[in-house]
Amino acid sequence: MTATEMERALNRLAHEIVERHRGTKNLALIGIRRRGVPLAERLAKTILDFEKVRIPVGYLDINLYRDDLSTVSMQPVIQSTEIHFPIANISIVLVDDVLYTGRTVRAAMDALLDYGRPKTIQLCVLIDRGHRELPIEANYIGKFVQTTDNEIIEVKLTEIDQQEGVMLVEKLE
């Protein structure tokens, strides 16, 4: 996926989110660290461009809620969660780069519910690569990519990786 294709996909996703919510009232985006954060910011900027409304954006670190903390080899680096608005009774759209097993999203929902009781939680991802291990589906999908278990989806974002694009690479054994 090239930079232009990514931009087109994000534009479409921004429009879909606003269309499905019939506007931007009581709507907030929450990016899952790390790459969900710049994606959420970009979606919010696109929405600002065509709706002239700045919707709130929060960042969520899900590491404290992972289900594999005692089995992972290296301890994850904990980053801060920044949600500077009350989430009770509003519609939250979680934003992440890749949807794979669904375990990150499960952790994100648990983390979010510790902050309050949103009206709805939806999920927006740039890439859905299949292989779910939990009954979780995305509401907004940039692109569905058929993958096998020994492939990796690499999403590169200018804000983090100084380059832009999505690549499907073979896992090194």
Partner 1 sequence: MPPKIKHLLGIQDLSVEQIRLILETAESFREISTRPIKKVPTLRGKTIINLFFEASTRTRTSFEIAAKRLSADAINISASTSSVVKGETLHDTAQNLQAMAPDVIVIRHSCSGTPHQLARICSAAVVNAGDGAHEHPTQALLDGFTILDHKETLQGLKVAIVGDIAHSRVARSDCLLLGKMGAHVTVCGPPTLIPPHFDKTLRLVGQTNASVAQQSLRVTYDMNEALEDADVVMMLRIQLERQSEAFFPSIREYFRLYGLSAERMKAAKPDAIIMHPGPINRGVEIASDVADGPYSVILDQVTSGVAVRMAVLFLLTGGKDESD
Give the 3-state secondary structure of residue 152: strand
Q: Is 61 in the site for partner 1 (CB under 8 A)?
A: yes
Among 64, 134, 160, 167, binds partner 1 (CB under 8 A): 64
| Cβ proximity to partner 1, 22 vs 117, nearer residue | 117
For 61, half-sphere exposure in the C-beta direction (CA atoms, 13 angstrom radius) is 9
State which of positions 93-122 bind partner 1 (CB under 8 A). 110-111, 114-116
State which of positions 3-32 bind partner 1 (CB under 8 A). none
Secondary structure of the chain: what % helix, strand, coil (to 5)? Answer: 30, 25, 45
What is the pairing mode between strands 151-156 and 165-170? antiparallel
| Cβ proximity to partner 1, 63 vs 139, nearer residue | 63
Among 22, 52, 74, 146, binds partner 1 (CB under 8 A): 74
| Cβ proximity to partner 1, 52 vs 117, nearer residue | 117
Give the integer Cα–Cα distance in Å for 27 and 164.
28
Least gap, CB of 109 to partner 1 (angstroms) = 13
Q: Is 160 in the site for partner 1 (CB under 8 A)?
A: no
Give the integer Cα–Cα distance in Å for 172 and 88.
44
Q: How many residues does this entry show for the chain?
A: 173
Q: Which residues pair with 165 in a beta bridge?
A: 156
Least gap, CB of 117 to partner 1 (angstroms) = 11
Least gap, CB of 83 to partner 1 (angstroms) = 9
Structure tokens at 162: 């100084």
Which residues bind to partner 1, rule: CB under 8 A? 61, 64-65, 69-82, 110-111, 114-116
